[in-house]
Amino acid sequence: MKIALDEVSAHHPAARAGAVPAVRALSLQVASGEQVAIIGPSGAGKTTLLHVLACALKPTSGQLLLDGRNPWQLSRGTLQSLRGALFLAPQVPPLPPRQRVVTAVLAGRLPDEGLWTSLRSLFYPVDIPRAEQALKGFDVADKLFDRVDRLSGGERQRVGLARALVSQATLLLVDEPLSALDPARSQLVMQTLTHAAHARGASLVATLHHVEMALAHFPRIVGLRDGALAFDLPASAVTPAHLQALYAQHLHELNGPTAAPDAAFAVAPAPVIMHCR
């Protein structure tokens, strides 16, 4: 899916009235099948940008085009169909705690299934091998029939990402997929995501605090600071000077989060406006 943003501004979903926009006059283009990492310090507007791209948050100004169409000028039915071609994977996936992992993963296919198949899958999953294969890519296939509330934070994160692999989305939007993972599993997750997106020809946009992972796995790096574009460069052209300027006053974030490996999330995130798959 092709993305074009022209002078787009948007507020964080939880922003108070009158707050400064989290994304400010941002212009950006992503070609179909391209893979882009978005980096920047906390509060740079990365998550807000993903919600704009997912058609979950309407820009306050400027224009977003997805495959040449402005989502907010479409009819409700056409917009819903367009959203079915998008997959937004939040940092903390909204998985029902009493649901089985296999059912949670196969929920990624709901936009592409009929009503009867969707209802049947709630009681008896209709494509267990597909879910198992997706989980295997993230090293959690052994959790296939476990309940979600029995998983660690890192396992929940990887189960949420497995939804992307079973979906038919042509635009994958992934928010901080490594925040609860150790280095070895982080490498596996990035390899699985990028290879899967390439295999299906899907566009992939991921926000990352782990700068070294962004540089290692993505050919293009977009730096955001204070909601504005700091740079848009091939990974090979990003220098220490670029990173020093981007993370000024936040240099401690250059090494990524310091959370314990596969840690559970200690604090529930504030609710955000989004659609879930």
Provide DSSP, 85-134: TEEEE-SS----TTSBHHHHHHGGGGGGS-HHHHHHHHHS-S-HHHHHHH
pTM of model > 0.75? yes
Closest listed residue to residue 85, CA positions, set 173, 170, 174: 170
- What is the predicted pLDDT for the residue at 267? 34
- What is the predicted pLDDT for the residue at 14? 81
- What is the predicted pLDDT for the residue at 125? 73
Q: Pinpoint the residues of the chain covered by CATH 3.40.50.300.
A: 1-85+170-258
- What is the predicted pLDDT for the residue at 89? 95
CATH superfamily, with its number, for domain 1-85+170-258 = P-loop containing nucleotide triphosphate hydrolases (3.40.50.300)
Q: What is the pLDDT of residues 97-154, one digit of tens each?
A: 999 999 999 988 886 665 556 556 666 677 899 999 999 999 999 999 999 999 999 9
Q: Token match 């979906």: residue?
A: 167
Closest listed residue to residue 174, CA positions, set 230, 217, 232: 217
Q: Is the dihedral of CA 73, 75, 81, 83 positive or negative?
A: positive
Calculate ∠ Cα 194-175-158, nearest 5°: 65
pLDDT < 70 positions in the chain: 111-124, 255-277
C-alpha dihedral (250, 46, 63, 245), degrees to nearest 10: 20
Calculate ∠ Cα 186-187-188, nearest 5°: 90
